[in-house]
Amino acid sequence: MKLLLIVVTSLSLGMIISCKKSPVVKPAPVPPIAPVTPPTTVTPTEPVIANTIGFFLNDWTAKTYVAPAYTVATPPAESSSATVTINVANIITKIPQAIYGNNANSWMTQIVTEAPLMAYLTNYHSHIIRFPGGSISDIYFWNKPANTAPSDAPANRVDENGNTVPGNYWFGKISDSWTISLDNYYNMLTQTGNQGMITVNYGYARYGTSTNPAAAAAHLAADWVRYDNGRTKYWEVGNENFGTWEAGYRINTANNADGQPQLLNGKIYGEHFKIFADSMRKAAIENGKPIYISAVLMEKAPASYIPSNLQTWNADVMSKAGNTPDYYSVHSYFTPYRQNSDPATILNSVIPEETTIMNYVKGSVTAVAGTSQKPVALSEWNIFAEGSAQQTSYINGIHGLMVMGEALKNKFGMAARWDLANAWNGGNDMGLFNIGDEPGVSKWNARASYYYMYYFQKTAGDRLVESSVMGNTAVKSYASTYSSGEAAVTLVNTSSSLQTVTVSFQNFIPGGRYYWYILKGGTDNGLFSKNVLVNEFGSSIGSGGPANYQTLNAWSSVVSAGVKISLPAFGVANLMFDK
């Protein structure tokens, strides 16, 4: 036992000795760990307010981000066809609330009596609702009961061809259920939390038979300012007065007492504008509440077929009105007049048209010595396309979203869609809501366009920031930030095939999650579905969108996996990002 023990011990010692004699391999020195450098960011610099926006930002308010309720979703696995990069440090403009505007009109009931309509108008906060409605403005007598035109408004007028036609005047003190009184227009604004833009009757300055019709019309407008008593900040003198179709464009000179020409031109309008502005401003001073007054301009260079007296409308207006206008009003219906345009024609009309409008207005100003740039309001917009129910389709909703987005990029101060309600006419209806004549659809049902406008405003922040698209020209982007620090972007697929988009950031570190809503058309009516699906929820009545649009869950995923989104054919995604 002792010997065995010794042997074992010896072996044990030998092993120990042997280990001690083995060469020792020293580990390589470990380099020091470099500190992790967080992504660099640049503090955004607030841009100077563009003179084409101006006072439309006076009521700007900071917007606080609220993350929506959500359902977890899986981002697409396929490769991206486009990359959108959002640079939050490059602020293009603060977002004027007036960019979300709408137009009311005088033939869509008393409005305040229509609970579903009032709910929609409250939920989608237009901020601006223009009145009394297009060409009606130039035959509208705000302070008169039905069928009681002033004595110097002739029973008959002349149309653009010189034919005698009835006056067909409209009135503000009216209680019929099919039309709206001026007081109920004000009531509607109060109840829905919106404010007005009023277009006064300029046509009366032309067809009026008093010794000084321009003064009479200006006095009528000034009395409206007094009655308004500061409720309305934005006013327009006339509607599309350069149009041959407009009341007052052609007058019966035998009824005119102050030597006006038969056909209107920009110099006459410019001279009259100063008379209106002077009277209206004096009334506003009496109220102690300032107002802003616009002159009507053409939105682009007139075509060769436009009469010679109108070819230099903008320059003529400015040569006489000078710097008297506070802002300029323009209109656009984007697509070729009454053509059966396809989706590509409709969607591709937005960017070049709005760029052309702004450049033309700016050029008109600089071409006339002594005038300075004023804010620009796109106070009517829609599409002329018809024949396949384009106007009531989801394609028109995408178009409308792009109009607002491009209006921001081009720095318009205000934009207002035409209009809240109109007439079905086989789907050739610019109304945002069904006035009650769309077959099989409940009265005041919201059309697809409403949902595109609603989600665009719901998800946008309060500052438009730079975003660029690489890899696919069919994808458009409108990015924004919140004063509370978060970011958002609306992506539009203007093509007929699915696009997968990756979103990246500069000068912004997104937080834990991102959220999105996908809007796409239905399967009815070929290329021009009347329906919109929001995260796969749609209308239960075959027209419009989901009834639960206000409470519908967003889809959401974690930012750590990367931000990627699938845009269906002619699809829209409204995304929001935590900070």
CA diameter of the chain? 146
Q: How many CB atoms lie within 10 A of CB 509?
A: 13
CATH number at residue 118: 3.20.20.80
Q: Examine the domain organization and report whether 146 and 85 are in the same domain.
A: no
Name the 3-class secondary structure at 294: strand
On whether residue 48 sits in a domain, the answer given is no
Residue 318 forms beta bridges with which residues?
A: none
Query: Residues 277, 388: one domain?
Result: yes
Query: Domain range for residue 557?
Result: 61-94+465-577
Q: Is the dihedral of CA 355, 460, 417, 127 positive or negative?
A: negative
Query: Measuring CA to CA, which residue among 200, 82, 15 is closest to residue 469?
Result: 82
Site of tokens 């959220």: 515
The answer to the question of residue 252 being in a domain is yes
Structure tokens at 121: 């108008």
Boundary of a domain, candidates 408, 441, 462: 462
Are 249 and 186 within one domain? yes
352 and 489 in a single domain? The answer is no
What is the model's pLDDT at position 326?
A: 98
Q: Residue for token digits 């033309």? A: 360
Q: Using the 3D structure, point to which of 462, 478, 494 is the last residue of a domain.
A: 462
The pLDDT tens digits of the residues spanning 60-103 come to: 999 999 999 999 999 999 999 999 999 999 999 999 999 999 99
pLDDT in tens, 429-481: 999 999 999 999 999 999 999 999 999 999 999 999 999 999 999 999 999 99
pLDDT at 39: 55
Question: Considering the domain boundaries, does residue 471 fall inside one?
Answer: yes
Query: Do you find a cis peptide bond into 419, omega within 30 degrees of 0?
Result: yes
Residues contacting residue 503 through CB under 8 Å, at least 6 positions apart: 83, 84, 85, 86, 489, 563, 564, 565, 575
**Residue 56 is assigned to a structural domain of this protein:** no
Instruction: Judge if 449 and 505 occupy the same domain.
Output: no
**Residue 39 placed within a domain:** no
**Same domain flag for 493 and 346:** no
427 and 554 part of one domain: no
Q: Do the domain assignments include residue 179?
A: yes
Verify that 433 and 538 share a domain, yes or no: no
Positive or negative: CA dihedral 133, 137, 143, 148: negative
Same domain (yes/no): 206, 252: yes
- Same structural domain for residues 318 and 400? yes
Q: How far is CA 446 from the centre of its chain?
A: 17
CATH number of domain containing 526: 2.60.40.1180
In terms of domains, do 321 and 252 share one? yes
Task: Find residue 94's DSSP bridge partners.
Answer: 463
Residue 529 and residue 388: Cα distance in Å, rounded? 10
Q: Which residues of the chain have pLDDT under 70?
A: 1-40
Residue with tokens 């009347």: 530
User: Measuring CA to CA, which residue among 354, 568, 537, 534 is closest to residue 454?
Assistant: 534
Judge if 421 and 509 occupy the same domain: no
Q: What pLDDT does residue 40 have?
A: 62
Classify residue 280: in a domain, yes or no.
yes
In a domain, 45, yes or no: no
Torsion angle defined by CA atoms of residues 368, 371, 373 and 375, in that order, rounded to the nearest 10 degrees: -110
Q: How many domains does the chain have?
A: 2
Q: Last residue of some domain: 412, 433, 462?
A: 462
Q: What's the pLDDT score for residue 43?
A: 84
Phi/psi class of residue 402: alpha, beta or left (left: φ > 0; alpha: ψ in -120 to 50)?
alpha
